[in-house]
Amino acid sequence: MPGITHYLTVSALLFFLGLAGFISRKNMFMIFLSVELMLNGINLSFVAFSRFFQALDGHVFAFFVIAIAAAEAGISLAMIILLYKNRQTIDVDRFNIMKG
């Protein structure tokens, strides 16, 4: 029977894998997927804690995150398509017009 420690370890692994991807990838799709990975890592710890404390709060949060991730996916994918249409590339390093 896995305990909360196992769940939290997996959750942290997922989160940091996502963060590593977010930092190192150049492809916008991969960055987007990394963000999803991070969100789901956090989701996992929410659910694990909820189970551990026998409280529903964590579940509620997990559903919130899922809903937000869905909305985010819709907007991000649309934006990536538009960016590609404009610049014929989705290399994130090519988009630095916000440089100070």
Partner 1 sequence: MFTTIADLHQTTPISSQSSLLLSLIVLLPILGALILGSMALWSQPREQGLSEKMLGALGTLTPALSALLALYLFAQQLGQPGLQWTANLGTWIKVSLFELSFGFMMDPLSGLMTVMITCIGTLIHLFSISYMHGDRGFARYFACLNLFLGAMLLLILSDNIVGLFVGWEGVGVCSFLLIGFWFSDAQKAGAGTKAFVANRVGDFGFLLGILFLFLETSHFDFAGLQAGLAETPESRLAVIAFLLLIGALGKSAQIPLHVWLPDAMAGPTPVSALIHAATMVTAGVYMIARLHFIYSQTPSISLLIVLIGALTALMAASIALVQNDIKKVLAYSTVSQLGYMFMAVGAGAYVAGIFHVFTHAFFKAALFLGAGAIIHALHHEQDLMKMGGLRKKLPITHLSMLISCLAIAGIPPFAGFFSKDEILWSLWNEGLYLFWGMGLLTAGLTAFYMFRLYFLAFGSSYRGQAEISAEPLLMKLPLLVLGAGAVLSGFLGLPAVLGLPNWMEHWLSQVFGAHHVAGNMGLALMLMGVSVLVASAGILVALKKYARLQSAPAAATGPLANMLHQKYGFDLLYDAVLVRPLRRMGTLGWQIVERLMIDGAITFGLWAYKVAALMLRQLQTGSIRAYGHYLLLGLTALAYLYFTLHLPGVFRP
Residues that bind partner 1 (CB under 8 A): 19, 22-24, 26, 31, 92-93, 95-100
Of 63 and 95, nearer to partner 1 (C-beta) is 95
State how far the alpha carbon of 27 is from the alpha carbons of 24, 41, 73, 94, in Å.
9, 21, 16, 10
Of 2 and 100, nearer to partner 1 (C-beta) is 100
The closest of 32, 35, 47, 37 to 2, measured between CA atoms, is 47
Q: What is the smallest separation between the CB atom of 42 and partner 1, expressed in angstroms?
A: 13
Residues in the chain: 100
Of 3 and 100, nearer to partner 1 (C-beta) is 100
Q: What is the smallest separation between the CB atom of 97 and partner 1, expressed in angstroms?
A: 6
